[in-house]
Structure 1
Amino acid sequence: MRILITGSAGFVGSHLVERFLNEGHTVIGVDNYISGQVSNTDLFREHPRFTFIEADVSHGIPYTGDSLDWVMHFASPASPPHYQQFPVETLMVGAQGTQNGLELAHAHGAGFFLASTSEVYGDPHVHPQPETYWGNVNPIGVRSCYDEAKRYAEAITMAYHRSRGVNTRIIRIFNTYGPRMRPDDGRVITNFVHQALRGEPLTVYGDGSQTRSFQYIDDLVEGISRLMMVEYHEPVNLGNPDEFMMIELAKVVEDVFVNNIQMVSIPLPLDDPKQRKPDVELARKLLGWSPNISLQKGLNLLSPHLKNDQ
């Protein structure tokens, strides 16, 4: 297949590039490096079936090559520090960027694959969160530039499917980690492991009782690949349902990386969700998919990559 991936220099995008090239497909990567990393593009730059286009997909996708089989829209800042630094750009890539990707897919008769997020559930009143839950989102809060961008992206994706027949897929990605995450990503696993490796106290928001569920990147990529092969157009959760309080996560990080870690408490960010856990029953039934990599195993897989970067 010929697959165009926006956000190809990002964390998830670069792993998709690697997967598809290894499977023999041709990949066109598109990124403007607002949150992606040049080093991720450099991994594939010499590959004979990889082409890179540096562009802001919010203003258009300048692809003029052969017919595409898939347009996969993974471009967007995805961590709170990045999308709060670039709120307008985040809204733009969720709105105009998504529409530009849909138009390109429509023109080529290609499938369109949207990377959405568990953030569409906001600070949920339903636990765990199934795809049928509509969410509890502050539409004007500090996180709204990301939350509402993704909610709109889902809406326009479904509109193109219903009104124009585009063959769409939507995934809602829950917290995912692995190699190639930016050190300044700002999400809890990145913060904790880099602080541990530097011998610094772990910064815990509030009392550390809020929960998250952590998925290793290989499990996510496998779920994405399986959904491409199934005719299903509504959102599908992809995440690991094993739920950890932040103080429990700190103990796992201590076990993997360094002993006798200290913790320091800082105030909770605005609109920070108290609980986050995916209901993945739909993915189990539809895709025969469930995450295989535990948090302990995933951190052990991640450890050598991070230690090499220190």
Structure 2
Amino acid sequence: MLSFFTYGRSYDPSESIVYSQPTFQNFLLLQNLGEAGGSKDSWLGEGFSHLPRPYNSFLKEALMRILITGSSGQIGTNLGLHLQSHGHYVFGIDKRPNSWTTEIETLLQDLSTPQRSFNKGIGHVEYPPDLDAVVHFAAHAKVHELVEQPDRALENITMTFNVLEFCRQNNLPLIFSSSREVYG
């Protein structure tokens, strides 16, 4: 199960749609309202123009720009494809090419080395500008191997630190999820 960290305020259908920060729930509400029909003015509300990349069926803009680490894994791939099918722009990072699909733009980068620069990306690699959120799935799996090779567990910690620091310095919300490995 994913947890969403959001900013701004919740949607009240009786009010105009004005948010201080983009959120998944707010943008999904915009998408649902748009798919439900009605005129552009009836569901966009006041203040729509200041939102960075709202879902806009009239302009075909991306709903959100989302970075997924570990995008070549099964969970990262499926989430990326799902988000793309709902109008989101997805940018993936993984140290391996994606063998499941070529639909997700993937940067091959090893996030497990300590970094000092996080301004436009992790290390000296620049990521697409104006990201809205980061989903962190990158990790060495197979707990038994991590017990046998503790340096790989340290690499997981370093990867997570790098992603957290990138999010902190760029004021990005982070969705951190674990799969079966949480059970050992």
* Structure-1 residue corresponding to 2:174: 112
Whichever structure has more strand as a proportion of its residues is 1
Please give the residue correspondences for 1:221-240 in structure 2 after superposition, counting only pairs within 5 Å.
none
Give the C-alpha shift of residue 6 in structure 1.
Answer: 0.8
- Rounded to whole Å, the distance in 2 between the matches of 1:63 and 1:96 is 19
Change beyond 3 A, Cα 1:17–1:87:
farther
Whichever structure has more helix as a proportion of its residues is 1
8 A Cα contact 1:69 1:109, kept in partner: no
- Secondary structure of the 2:177 match is strand
Write the deviation string for residues 114-167 of structure 1: whole angstroms up to 9, x where unpaired.
Answer: 1236766xxxxxxxxxxxxxxxxxxxxxxxxxxxxxxxxxxxxxxxxxxxxxxx
* Structure-2 residue corresponding to 1:73: 136
Change beyond 3 A, Cα 1:23–1:12:
same
- Secondary structure of the 2:84 match is helix
Change beyond 3 A, Cα 1:108–1:67:
farther
- Rounded to whole Å, the distance in 2 between the matches of 1:39 and 1:119 is 21
Q: May I ask how many residue pairs the two structures share in their alignment?
A: 112
Q: What TM-score do the two structures reach when normalised by structure 1?
A: 0.32
Write the deviation string for residues 39-94 of structure 1: whole angstroms up to 9, x where unpaired.
Answer: 12xx1x3x4xx42111111225333321211111101122235545654223212x
- Secondary structure of the 2:178 match is strand
Q: What TM-score do the two structures reach when normalised by structure 2?
A: 0.52
- Rounded to whole Å, the distance in 2 between the matches of 1:85 and 1:63 is 34
Amino acid at match of 1:102: L
Write the deviation string for residues 145-201 of structure 1: whole angstroms up to 9, x where unpaired.
Answer: xxxxxxxxxxxxxxxxxxxxxxxxxxxxx6xxxxxxxxxxxxxxxxxxxxxxxxxxx
* Structure-2 residue corresponding to 1:92: 155
Amino acid at match of 2:75: V
* Structure-1 residue corresponding to 2:98: 38
Q: What percent identity do the matched residue pairs reach?
A: 32
- Rounded to whole Å, the distance in 1 between the matches of 2:149 and 2:95 is 13
Question: Where does the alignment leave 5 or more consecutive residues of structure 2 unmatched?
Answer: 1-63, 116-121
Please give the residue correspondences for 1:9-48 in structure 2 after superposition, counting only pairs within 5 Å.
9-33=72-96, 38-40=98-100, 43=101, 45=102, 47=103
